[in-house]
Structure 1
Amino acid sequence: MFYGIVALYLALALMLYFNFLLQREVKRRIATEKQLIEKIAHKDKMEAIGNLAAGIAHEIRNPLTSIKTFVELLPQKYDNPLFREKISYFVPREIERLNSLLNTLLDYARPRKSLQQTENLLDLVRNTLVLFGTMFEENKIRIAVEIDPDLKVFVDRQQIQQVFINVIMNAVEATEGVSEPKILIAAEQKAKEVIIVFQDNGMGIENDNLRKIFDPFFTTKPTGTGLGLAVSYQILKENMGRIWVESKPGEGTKVFISLPIGKEV
């Protein structure tokens, strides 16, 4: 009887010990997976900045060129009232344009902890589109935005901007070779969520590939990494959102993103 009780206690102690080891291992693996996801997301972000670098440099150069022109004319034309009026009007606006672009870029690139808060959706989209200005111009892509200016979402601004950049970049690449490339960004509120659609008239996606687009490292591009949509899926999951895609070869693609509606402030 005594030995039976001792054996029972030993078995219970072993079970508790192995349970402790199992819980510790699970926590370690969860932490490791989270770190890996963060590293992949950062790699994806840096890749996006690299792809946009030439266009961003061009966007920065434009206001600098305007300011430089005014400064060079200053000694000759300062006594001209019309010139002084123009420099007083245009230079501050060009500086503000430059400052806004740099703030958008720095906010996107700066690493920080995730912070969900109420954001204006139209502002998020516009701040993302400004990074694509030169790319749209060079590829003659027509952009249409149909979003209620009062629509709010509850998200991490930096993370959602990364998702938008990935989706828009894919749309730009999909419209290569199209005679009149177009991208439409629209949104509507449904109950407690906001549905955003990014629609392009590009080449579309084969049905076999459509099932794999969220798989890490899956890509059909010669120089692609296959991280963009996989990272976007994880980011949206963290922000209580969803993403799904509808596409047919030759008929373009629609990318749908669901985000929680903004909370009342």
Structure 2
Amino acid sequence: MDKIISSVAHEIRNPLTSIKIYTGQMKNKLDNKEFMIAASEDIPDEIDRIDGLIKEFMEYTSPRNPVIVDINLYEEIINSIKLVKLQIKNIEVIIDIDKSYSIKFDISQFKQIVLNILLNSKDAVKEVESPIIEISATENDEDIELYFKDNGYGMDADDLQYIFEPFYTTKISGNGVGMFVVKQIVDENGGSISAESDGEEKGMCIILKAKKGELNEEQIVNS
């Protein structure tokens, strides 16, 4: 917890410093149109950074108990993708999931982890000419394994081992909280999560294991 609090303080201090610089100069630059425009654009962005960090931190420190139910895996993946369709509109998303697969998971928390993983993949493929995110699933004795694979530039072994650690990130603008929260949620729902990479320029694969559920009659009709 000491490490987390120290990291939060560090992450908040950066945007606060930027805001302080702007506001400290503002009274002397009220007639400087370019400065005032820059301030009006940058200050809200810095405040959003702080707000986003606090929200994700609170998700970790005060998580609600999951309400675990049987959910149709394919349907919830589709529903989750709809929430970020604008952010990933230029990315080809390939889904290969049997529509009969059901898992035991909290619905809203499942959406949260899918969104985090998709947005993480979006950042990973932003420099790729033909970006692709593949989502597939396989069935085992007691689990469903869900795979999220992108064709981004991947991570080397040294970085990969820390992907689920709090505040570890290789992104310039990232805070390293998203994937950490994903792991916490998966653990609380009785699953497990891991990451694999084929190395630079070959992308990365996030593997989520969730307990198998049972489709009810309504789910069978809808699927």
TM-score (norm 2): 0.67
Q: Contact 1:45/1:162 (CA < 8 Å) preserved in 2? A: no
How far did 1:135 drift? 1.7
The one-letter amino acid paired with 1:202 is G
Which residue matches 1:240?
190
Match of 1:251 among 181, 192, 202: 202
Q: Deviations 1:193-225 (Å, cap 9, x if unpaired)?
A: 000000100010021101111110111112211
Q: Does residue 56 of structure 2 align to residue 44 of structure 1? A: yes
Q: Contact 2:193/2:208 (CA < 8 Å) preserved in 1? A: yes
Q: Does residue 139 of structure 2 align to residue 189 of structure 1? A: yes
How far did 1:114 drift? 1.9
How far did 1:161 drift? 1.1
Structure 2: unaligned runs, 5 residues or longer: 2-51, 217-223
How far did 1:258 drift? 0.2
Q: Contact 2:153/2:203 (CA < 8 Å) preserved in 1? A: yes
How far did 1:44 drift? 2.6
The one-letter amino acid paired with 1:157 is I
Cα distance change of structure 1 residues 130 and 217 upon mapping to structure 2, 3 Å threshold: same
TM-score (norm 1): 0.57
How far did 1:188 drift? 1.2
SS in 1 for 2:166: coil
Instruction: Give the distance between the partners of 1:263 and 1:200, measured in 2 at CA.
Output: 29
SS in 2 for 1:136: coil
Instruction: Give the distance between the partners of 1:200 and 1:120, measured in 2 at CA.
Output: 23
Match of 1:167 among 81, 102, 117: 117
Q: Deviations 1:174-206 (Å, cap 9, x if unpaired)?
A: 001101000000011111100000010001002
Instruction: Give the distance between the partners of 1:263 and 1:237, measured in 2 at CA.
Output: 20
Match of 2:163 among 204, 213, 218: 213
The one-letter amino acid paired with 1:257 is L
Larger RCO, structures 1/2 (Cα 8 Å, 6+ apart)? 2
The one-letter amino acid paired with 1:119 is I
Q: Which protein is richer in helix relative to its size?
A: 1
Q: Does residue 144 of structure 2 align to residue 230 of structure 1? A: no
Instruction: Give the distance between the partners of 1:150 and 1:45, measured in 2 at CA.
Output: 35
Q: Contact 2:66/2:189 (CA < 8 Å) preserved in 1? A: no
Instruction: Give the distance between the partners of 2:176 and 2:99, measured in 1 at CA.
Output: 33
Displacement over 4 Å in runs of 4+: none
Let me know the Cα RMSD of the aligned residues.
2.4
Q: Deviations 1:52-76 (Å, cap 9, x if unpaired)?
A: xxxxxxxxxxxxxxxxxxxxxxxxx
Q: Deviations 1:119-139 (Å, cap 9, x if unpaired)?
A: 0001110111001211222xx
SS in 1 for 2:146: strand
Instruction: Give the distance between the partners of 1:173 and 1:209, measured in 2 at CA.
Output: 16
How far did 1:263 drift? 3.8
Instruction: Give the distance between the partners of 1:183 and 1:200, measured in 2 at CA.
Output: 4
Cα distance change of structure 1 residues 187 and 215 upon mapping to structure 2, 3 Å threshold: same
Q: Contact 1:175/1:203 (CA < 8 Å) preserved in 2? A: yes
Q: Does residue 119 of structure 2 align to residue 133 of structure 1? A: no
Which residue matches 1:90?
none
> What is the percentage of aligned positions where both structures have the same residue?
31
Q: Computing the radius of gyration over CA atoms, which structure comes out larger, 1 or 2?
A: 1
Instruction: Give the distance between the partners of 2:54 and 2:111, measured in 1 at CA.
Output: 13
Q: Contact 2:69/2:104 (CA < 8 Å) preserved in 1? A: yes
Instruction: Give the distance between the partners of 2:157 and 2:64, measured in 1 at CA.
Output: 37
The one-letter amino acid paired with 1:258 is K
